[in-house]
Structure 1
Amino acid sequence: MKKAAWFAIGFAAYLGAMWFYLFHGADTALPVHLKGSAADPAMFMNERQLSLSYDFSRIKDFIYFVSVPLEWLIYLLVLGFGLSRRFRETAQGLTRFSVVHSALYVLFLSAASWILTFPLRYYSYTVSKSYKVSVQHFDGWMKDSLVDFWIGYAFTVVMVGAIYWLMKKSEKKWWLYAWLLSIPFTIFMYFIQPVLIDPLYNEFSPLKDQALKEKILLLADKADIPADNVYEVNMSEKTNSLNAYVNGIGSNLRIVLWDTTLNKLSDSQVLFVMAHEMGHYVMNHLYWNLISSIVLSFLGLYFGNMLYRRWIKKYGDAWGIKGISDIAALPALLLIFSLLGFAVSPVENAISRSAERDADQYAIEMTKNPEAAVGAFQELTVSGLSEVNPPKLVKFFLYGHPTMLERISFLDAQRTSKDK
């Protein structure tokens, strides 16, 4: 109980420090040389939009910095208060079939985590709704949340079942065998996501605007992208934000536009956005993402195994865990993977930002329309109430894209050089 109290005090102190940093301590002033430029939000947002953008962005950033350690805290409490051991014992008491034990245990742990994090997720939803970034009704949001839960549960059951089976077979090399099994699984997920998983959340249909479709397919042909269709997805019933993407591999490659993007951007702006997404394909970013996922999973499993073994050796008795292959140790393993993922996220984000800059450059070279590019990002900023120049810590941990300040100023420089 004393340790729990200290955890609670430390968590409260952390929240206070993050709140102060985000709302009072961070320097987000616009560089003097960019004032009055196309990247200056005062040039394309009114006073109310500027105020809403600041408040919305900071609240959402704060929610993120609350949610990450909250997940860690939940895992520690489940272990420290003996709940994990009780979940295991309950699962074993419900059936004599050992193959079902891990599935039941994962259900108990997932349900507990989902319930404990629900208030924060609901608050995040209400914030987006109150700032009119989200327009989704509660029942639709709840449906998506439940779909998330059951999809996550299904994949977790498969992965956890495989990992703990491997642990029982080989306590020393389970992590290596798990990594080898993860490679075809990761490739399979990249292949099936556009056609099996994405449609569970949204309705996809061929792009209705035939003239725009032809323009996009001409761009794709110019970029040597093997696409014969363009899809639009009905997102206007959920959000006012804009987005477009190219995902999938092989025959399941899909070019997708949110209908909000189609409704709010001109054709020339849409073409720039699509050229940017095609740039990711042309420069093999999709495949590099796949390779990096495989490499990072190797490193995560290797270092995760070392930490996991030490933790179980040191704290296993106190947590009521019988050994590394005990399913009751799962919260410790998930905590370790979450910590490692958080630690490596700044590096992943930096690499991602570089790829996004390259895609912007590619799109400019393909469309030769920096005016449309600048306008597209300005509209993206307004629609999503994005902060043009976020705090450095936010950019460090959250931004896989360059900030809007960086993107618009880069594109505006391209426009200026073209005019000369």
Structure 2
Amino acid sequence: MLKHLATLLLLFTLGTSPLQAAEPDTATPSVTPAAQAAPPVLDPKVATQAFMDRLQGEARAKSDSYAEGGYWLLLWNLLYGLLVAWLLLSRQISAHIRDFAERRSQGKHRQVLIYALIYTPLTTLLMLPLSLYEGYFREHQYGLSNLSLAGWLGEFGIALLVNTLLMSVALLGLYALLRRQPRSWWAWGGVGGAGLIALLIMIAPVFISPLFNTYKPLPQGQIRDEILSMARANGIPVDNVYYFDASKQTKRVSANVSGLFGTTRIALNDNLLQRTSLPEIRAVMAHEMGHYVLNHSFKLALYMSLLLMGGLLFIKLSWDWAAERFANRHGVRGISDPAGLPLLVALLSVYLFMATPVFSTIIRSAETEADLFGLNASREPDGFAEAIFKLAEYRKLQPGPVEEFIFFDHPSGYQRIYAAMRWKAEQRATAPAATPSQP
């Protein structure tokens, strides 16, 4: 499921004190005052390395370990999912679910709906051991989660209900296309995927996010005023700012601007308010607002639909080969048969695993654009660098270039801090020289 791209910005105002000019002496020529000293030269690499040097020893090893473990989890999720698919097919569990749906209804749409309402909870529960390790035990191991086991299971249950509903809608559309457009279903599926992604962007801030967190208006004050000022300056149609209680779940800082057609919402979590300074908040909000202003939600919906379209084409081209080996002898009647869904999901999972560098690059490019927008909007390079440094709790600061290309869906901490220091250095380099007074 696509993550939300959320956006918030803040204004950093530069003030100058008026200089009082002396009365010119008409008898003697005035002496031109010495030019103001140029600002010191900043070396972006040296400044960035100073940040890198702040994270050493056990803390650095812990950050790197968490990130590198996530790479392996991509593989374990794929293998575990393939095992679940093999179990559902080889034991004819999927075929039995389809048979049950056919006994309950004669209509194809209802049969798919019944199948989906059974398949989604079943596979989610079969994946529970890995989900529990990844989402609860591992997060506590690295000190990133504040949820109790009961709290985590409660949120897992809510997510299961939401995913079952969304999966049912998606499968109804997919199998309708498989029956009616047997040759071009994959292309229409990509188009439908884009529509579903846009719908999620629109409804998530209003109907889904509040299922997990309580949203409240941010109290009057400088933070709220500056955020709203930046929103107005950049054409974001909001008149309020919200904060939500993410601290009950995690120690991560985050913010977002999301929504469409009147549902746009600016929100930041309470961790950001409690753990960061005002310059850091301004910088983070500027980055998030950049996503909105640069239309990243629409662009990513398009890119992801193209990526999905490629995955559906991969399924179409590889289905006959895979079905002959893993599905046909286990009661699956063809690609339009819901009983074949485990194989379809397995093929899509393999495709998405192989497309990890593509997916990472798409997201990383948008994040880079938002970083640069945020620096120009907030004019807070030090605040931005400090905020990024805090992300080193769970993001590796300085990966190798291949590692970053394949696995990082954001620029690395080093690259983001370097961009901030480079921006800062160029602002100093282009600062206007003092204008000498004239007689």
TM-score interval, smaller chain = 0.7 to 0.9
> After superposition, where does 1:75-94 map in structure 2 within 5 Å?
75-93=85-103
CA positional deviation for 1:34: 9.4
Cα 1:209–1:241 shift into 2, 3 Å: farther
CA shift at 1:214, angstroms?
0.5
CA–CA separation in structure 2 for the residues paired with 1:378 and 1:264: 12
Change beyond 3 A, Cα 1:128–1:186: closer
2:127 aligned counterpart, secondary structure: helix
Q: Matched residue of 2:262: which SS? A: helix
Task: Give the C-alpha shift of residue 236 in structure 1.
Answer: 0.6
Counterpart of 1:228 in structure 2 is 239
> Do residues 194 (structure 1) and 209 (structure 2) align?
no
Matched with 2:68 is 58
SS of alignment partner, residue 48 of structure 2: coil
Q: Choose the corresponding residue for 2:416, options 398, 404, 407.
A: 407
Separation (CA, whole Å) in 1 of partners of 2:193 and 2:57 = 50
Q: Equivalent of 2:77, from 67, 70, 83? A: 67
Cα 1:182–1:378 change in 2 (3 A) is: closer
Provide the residue aligned with 2:54 in structure 1.
44
Residues 4-42 of structure 1: CA distance to partner in whole angstroms, max 9, x if unpaired? xxxxxxxxxxxxxxxxxxxxxxxxxxxxx9997534665
Among candidates 378, 381, 388, match of residue 370 of structure 1: 381
* 41 and 82 in structure 1: CA distance in 2 versus 1, 3 angstrom threshold: farther
Residue equivalent to 1:120: 130
Structure 2 contact 399–412 (Cα < 8 Å) conserved = yes
Report the Cα distance in structure 1 between the residues aligned to 2:193 and 2:422, rounded to whole angstroms. Answer: 44
More displaced stretch, 244-253 vs 338-347: 338-347
Please tell me the residue identity of whatever aligns with 1:61: Y
Percent identical among aligned pairs is: 25
Q: Distance in 2 between matches of 1:376 and 1:370?
A: 10
d(CA) in 2 for partners of 1:175 and 1:355?
A: 26
CA shift in 2, pair 1:157/1:240, >3 Å: same
- Matched to 2:176, the amino acid is W
- What does 1:370-389 correspond to in 2, within 5 Å? 370-381=381-392, 384-389=393-398
Kindly indicate whether the alpha-carbon contact (under 8 Å) linking 1:49 and 1:385 is maintained by their aligned counterparts in 2: no
Q: Partner residue of 1:14? A: none
SS at match of 1:239: coil
Q: Partner residue of 2:404?
A: 395
The residue aligned with 1:320 is 331
Matching residue's letter, 1:406: Q
Deviations 1:31-59 (A, max 9, x none): xx999753466533353322322333333
**How far has the Cα of 1:365 moved from its partner?**
1.5
Distance 1:75 1:40, change over 3 A: farther
Q: Bigger shift: 115-124 or 168-177?
A: 168-177
**Counterpart amino acid of 2:386?**
G
Change (3 A) 1:51 1:88: same
Q: Does the Cα contact within 8 Å between 2:257 and 2:289 map onto a contact in 1?
A: yes
2: distance between equivalents of 1:354 and 1:325?
A: 37
Question: Structure 1 pair 410/178, CA: closer, same or farther in 2 (3 Å)?
Answer: closer
Does residue 215 of structure 2 align to residue 240 of structure 1? no
Q: Distance in 1 between matches of 2:361 and 2:259?
A: 23
Moved more, 105-114 or 174-183: 174-183
Amino acid at match of 2:416: R
Q: In the aligned structure 2, how far is the partner of 1:179 from the partner of 1:58?
A: 32
Does 251-260 or 157-166 show the bigger shift?
Answer: 157-166
- Normalising by structure 2, we get a TM-score of 0.79
Say if 2:346 is the partner of 1:335.
Answer: yes
3-state SS of the aligned residue for 1:232?
strand
Letter of the structure 2 residue corresponding to residue 373 of structure 1: F
Q: Is the 8 A contact 1:42 1:50 kept in 2?
A: no
What CA deviation, in whole Å up to 9, does each residue of 1:174-202 have, x standing for no partner? 44454454454333222111111111121
Instruction: Report the residue type matching 2:242 in the other structure.
Output: Y
**For residues 39 and 407 of structure 1, do their structure 2 counterparts lie closer, same or farther at Cα, with a shift above 3 Å needed?**
farther
What CA distance in whole angstroms lies between the structure 1 residues aligned with 2:49 and 2:127?
A: 37
Verify the 8 A CA contact 1:240 1:260 in the aligned structure 2: yes
Provide the aligned length of Structure 1 versus Structure 2.
Answer: 385
Counterparts in 2 of 1:409 and 1:278: CA distance versus 1, 3 Å: same
1:148 Cα deviation after fit? 1.5
Aligned residue type for 1:305: K
Q: Deviation at 1:346?
A: 1.2
Structure 1, unpaired ranges of 5+: 1-32
Q: 2:364 aligns with which of 321, 344, 353?
A: 353
Q: Which SS does the other structure have where 1:252 is aligned?
A: coil
The Cα of 1:141 is off from its aligned counterpart by 0.9
* Deviation (angstroms), 1:411: 1.5
TM-score, normalization by structure 1: 0.83
Change (3 A) 1:294 1:53: closer
Q: CA deviation at 1:330?
A: 0.9
Inter-partner Cα distance in structure 1 for 2:246 and 2:266 = 15
Query: Is the alpha carbon distance of 1:97 and 1:208 closer, same or farther for their aligned partners in structure 2, counting shifts above 3 Å?
Result: farther
Whole-angstrom CA distance in 1 between matches of 2:188 and 2:361: 30
C-alpha change, 1:112 and 1:393, in structure 2 (3 Å) is farther
- Name the larger-Rg structure: 2
Cα deviation 1:194-224 (Å, max 9, x = unaligned): 1111111211111125321101111122222
Pair 1:307–1:223, CA change in 2 (3 A): same
Q: Which has the larger helix fraction?
A: 1
Q: Deviation at 1:136?
A: 1.1
Residue type at the aligned position of 1:128: E
Cross-structure match for 1:165: 176
